[in-house]
Amino acid sequence: MHENGREAELMVSPAHPSLYVARSLDSALDALAERGAEGAPFAGGTWIMRAPVRHERLSPAYVGVGRIAELSRIERSDDHVVLGAGVTHAHIAEALRDLPDLRVLTEAAGRSANPAVRRAATLGGNLCTADFPAADLVPALLCLDAEVDIASRDGVERLTLERFLALRHSIEPGHLLTSVRVPRSLARSVHARLPLRKAGDYPTAILSLSVERDEAGCVTQVRVAVGAVEAVARRWPRLEGALIDSPLDAASAHRAATELAGEFDGREGIDVPGWYRVSVLPALVRRAVAALH
């Protein structure tokens, strides 16, 4: 796949797509732009490789980005953490496990799918796979107010993760998510999920929570994000409003979530009906609040 230090393009067989292995970000962006709508990035491949099982067509051409060093870096500072889009779930779980404010992210990365998938699946793939509503990293990063960098041959654009999720179906070919920027804080955070073992450990519902409290124990800032329940993960502003400026305990949080859960429209599936996804949210809220420390 790589010869004499140069990028290579391979045709695995006439029945399979072509694969171009890029060794630099610039060459990857050039290749994606040249291939247009027929090209797609390829990193961990855990979603792409199962496309035939889902009866989905593969792209005619893929641009391998797994060997681009800058996409696999994690940069830490007192103010923020920058994660390359090629960082795997396993790497995230290990590299950030000593940061209590990012516990929600390390738990999401360290408990998703199974060990084999976590060693291969990348951050960028988890965020860009628009048809996978049960992605664990998405609600975790939403409750951390993360931003993403999208690169093309014209430059780099930074978007809030929420904005990116709304646009990802319509982003034009030639663009590549290169990194995720997560601000640091004094918050404590936690990730709660209800999995379905029989369905490859995909969660029925996900609840990600980040809370800051004052010396008296009152909530000064709270962010709640819900995943897997609807087609796209999102924040839960009304629950955030119900929890702010008061002491936080599992029972009161459960009551508030029970009153507000009806605003979600649970997605239907062959594994779980939509009403069930919504019904378990208050229990996940209670579990998450109880797990905070």
pTM beyond 0.95: the answer is no
Q: Helix %, strand %, coil % for the chain, to 5?
A: 35, 30, 35
Q: Tokens 């230090």 appear where?
A: 5
- Give the whole-angstrom CA distance, residue 142 versus residue 240: 13
- String of DSSP letters for 242-275: HHTTSB--HHHHHHHHHHHGGG--PPP-SSS-HH
Q: Is the pLDDT of residue 56 over 90?
A: no
Query: Which among 185, 93, 106, 188 has a CA at the least distance from the CA of 140?
Result: 106
* Amino acid in position 107: E
Taking residues 152-178, what's their average pLDDT?
96
Going by pLDDT thresholds of 50, 70 and 90, the confidence category of residue 202 is confident
Work out the angle at residue 112's Cα, subtended by the Cα atoms of residues 110 and 116, and round it to the nearest 5 degrees: 85
Of residues 188 and 57, the one with the higher pLDDT is 188
Taking residues 75-82, what's their average pLDDT?
97
For the segment 166-189, what is each residue's pLDDT rounded down to a tens digit?
Answer: 999 999 999 999 999 999 999 999
For the segment 24-55, what is each residue's pLDDT rounded down to a tens digit?
Answer: 999 999 999 999 999 999 999 888 887 777 78
Query: Which residue ranges form the domains of the chain, and what is each CATH number?
Result: 8-64 (3.30.43), 69-183 (3.30.465.10), 195-291 (3.30.390.50)
Residues 284 and 205 sit within 8 Å (Cβ to Cβ)? yes
Q: Please count the other Cβ atoms lying within 10 Å of the Cβ belonging to residue 228.
A: 28
Q: Is the pLDDT of residue 6 over 90?
A: no
Q: Is the pLDDT of residue 74 over 50?
A: yes
The radius of gyration of the chain from alpha carbons, rounded to an integer in Å, stands at 20
Q: What is the pLDDT of residue 12?
A: 40
Going by pLDDT thresholds of 50, 70 and 90, the confidence category of residue 196 is confident
For the segment 241-285, what is each residue's pLDDT rounded down to a tens digit?
Answer: 999 999 999 999 999 999 999 999 999 988 899 999 999 999 999
Q: What is the pLDDT of residue 16?
A: 66
Q: Is the pLDDT of residue 13 over 50?
A: no
